[in-house]
Amino acid sequence: MCKVISVSNQKGGIGKSSVVANLGIGLARHGKKVLLIDADPQGSLTASLGYQEPDDIRVTLATIMTCIINEEEFANDYGILHHEEGVELLPANIELSGLEVSLSNTMSREMILRDYIEQIRDIYDYILIDCMPSLGVMTINALAAADRVLIPVQAAYLPVKGLQQLIRTVNVVKKRLNKNLVIEGILINMVDYRTNYAKDITEMLHENYGDTVGILDMYIPFSVKVAEASAGGVSIYRYAPKCKAAESFEALTKEVLSK
């Protein structure tokens, strides 16, 4: 049974791509067959896995979705890239922005990505989707295609303030497009608990969402090493396997597996 998890938050700069990359590779380290889908035209996930020039990649998610729209047949492995740490990647680049505009005139435009995932989901144990930092049609596609949504958030006022709108959108998608969608939980990411500010924001998160949405037990500490690993195109497990962030991502992986 493949699990499809969308990693979503309309706020940028909160480390969604590093969460997808390190969680995905963590799952692969536990023997799971994992596909990572970059659904952000900035191509941050693609770049963090070593493809520093996403715009030079010929076949991307935009190519696949165009094939779906035009009802063109393609092989299940079409466009899939293989990363040295055991995960597979469907990359993205700026072409996805153009596709998002054209989707406005497409019938059942919210379901295009789900059509693709239904075609390939039997191949994988986990499919993780790195959503773009907006609540546009591509993010709706990702939520409509997912079984679960994981919400990374920083322990800071502005990212937390936007949670209510995101959760409202998830509930609308659940009601109208994907009745099986479940929120995996809120992941507190890039946090420094040496500050009282971070502690206060975390307490507020637990008060407002702990009983309704749920807060994951594991948090990811702020670490320069995570950014350095992404710049090098590898996971934190390979770049700094003994650091606190690597231990936290391993604990997060086990928590996701236990669900």
Q: Which domain holds residue 112?
A: 3-258
Separation of alpha carbons 58 and 60, rounded Å: 7
For residue 33, the one-letter residue type is K
75-87 per-position pLDDT tens digit: 999 999 999 999 9
| Helix, strand, coil percent content, the chain, rounded in steps of 5 | 50, 15, 35
Helix spans in the chain (H): 16-29, 44-48, 61-69, 95-102, 112-120, 137-145, 157-161, 163-176, 196-209, 224-231, 236-239, 244-258
- CATH number of the domain that residue 15 is part of: 3.40.50.300
Per-residue pLDDT tens digits for 83-102: 999 999 999 999 999 998 88
pLDDT computed for residue 104 by the predictor: 80
Q: Which pLDDT tens digit goes with each residue over 7-28?
A: 999 888 889 999 999 999 999 9
Q: How far is 248 from 66, CA to CA, in rounded Å?
A: 38
Lookup result for tokens 């497990």: 237
Q: How many domains does the chain have?
A: 1
Is the per-residue pLDDT at 174 higher than 90? yes
* Other Cβ atoms closer than 10 A to 13: 10
233, 48 in Cβ contact below 8 A? Answer: yes
Q: What is the pLDDT of residues 129-151, one digit of tens each?
A: 999 999 899 999 999 999 999 99
